[in-house]
Amino acid sequence: MQIQAVIFDMDGTLINSEPIWNEAEVQYFNQQGYPVTRADIANLRGLHIGGVTDYVLHHYADYHSGKSPEELSQELLDYAIAIILKKKPLIDGVRETLSYLHEKKIKLAVASASPLYMLEEIVKSCGIAQYFDYLSSAEELEYNKPHPMVYLHAAQKLGVPAKHCLAVEDSVTGMISAKSANMKCAVVPESEHWHDARWAISDFKFTQISEIKKLFD
């Protein structure tokens, strides 16, 4: 397999932001009068923020904050990003993995469901911006994950055919997006999701992100 580019998901793959997102979503919607639970949010893993808001408004249709879906999504985004930027929760092994791939002359990108300004702020604050050739945000495109557009867009900007790209994901939604783009996909699931049968469609399954390096040894 000739891998010319590696394209990473952001949340849960490069930064350990999933617990922060989960708590922020529960806190924010509770503050707005919606009795959202941790169980609700756990079922929405990998879904973009607009989808989370749509779920809450549909599931708790009897509750009203007086704010539009767009207002709720933007306020939630700002609320969560502020916490993430303060904590800078870079996952162990990320920096050394990016440095290793960079030295190997492998093109690197991010393909995320999150807004571009969030991606830019996070890679800067975590000190990894210099490794990436492109940041692809599905919020800037017509379709979000699980549609493959965000991965195809990243590959196009890198100038690398999709079949020569490796996507790195931690969610089933993201994995489906990458495989639909005709890319190889390495998944790094959380331990509690390790035995999910759906990972069978991935090409590689690792316990930690640094294991990706052995594909290039």
Catalytic center residues: 9, 11
Shortest CA distance to 97 belongs to which of 213, 7, 216? 213
Burial class (CB in 10 A: 0-12, 13-18, 19+), 130: exposed
CA 122, distance to chain mean position in Å, is 12
Residues 6+ apart with CB under 8 A from 188: 13, 168, 169, 170, 205, 206, 207, 208, 209, 211
Tell me which amino acid residue 36 is. V
β 184-187/5-8 pair status: unpaired
The CA distance from 165 to 184, in Å, is: 6
The CA distance from 23 to 19, in Å, is: 6
Q: Do residues 132 and 109 lie in contact, with contact meaning Cβ atoms separated by under 8 Å?
A: yes
Q: What distance, in Å, lies between the first and last C-alpha atoms of the chain?
A: 12
User: Does a cis peptide bond (omega within 30 degrees of 0) precede residue 89?
Assistant: no
